[in-house]
Amino acid sequence: MNIRKARVDDLSRVAEIFVFNNRINYFPIFQDETFSFGELQVVSLINNYLIKDEIINNIFVFDDGLIKGFVQMNKTEICKIYVDTFFQGRGIGSQLIEYAVKEFYADNLWALEKNRRAISFYQKHGFSLTGERKFEEGTTEYLVRLKR
């Protein structure tokens, strides 16, 4: 398996994957240009979030010579899982989620309710909707909880 703990020198690639996925998947839902193309930038994401010990120490990257995806854990919760859009459909996301389940006993996560593609992916990997919903902070959109 090509999954390992993230290092500081991986953060620009991790941030790039996150930013691009966020714009592709969430801008159509939120329609917030100021956030998606202003606030959400690779350098500020690294400096204000990813570099924190409690974050970087819980990020694991899929690296086969090039970082193509990552998963971020918080105990048994999957906080983030993203695969570079150019490499989706190659089983990388499946390997990342299986790694999270095997190594960290991942058993829960929150997903944006309107992100049907992600919810379907999680369901294929044994996660089920619980019926729990909460607002995504600062928005009018709901997150839904899935458990394994």
Q: What is the pLDDT of residue 1?
A: 67
Q: Specify the 3-state DSSP secondary structure of 48.
A: helix
User: CA-CA distance, 8 to 62, in Å (whole number)?
Assistant: 15
> To which residue do tokens 């990813």 refer?
50
User: CA-CA distance, 3 to 98, in Å (whole number)?
Assistant: 11
Q: Specify the 3-state DSSP secondary structure of 1.
A: coil
Mean pLDDT by 10 residues, the chain (148 residues): 94 96 87 83 89 95 98 98 96 98 98 94 98 90 96
Pairing of strands 108-112, 77-83: parallel
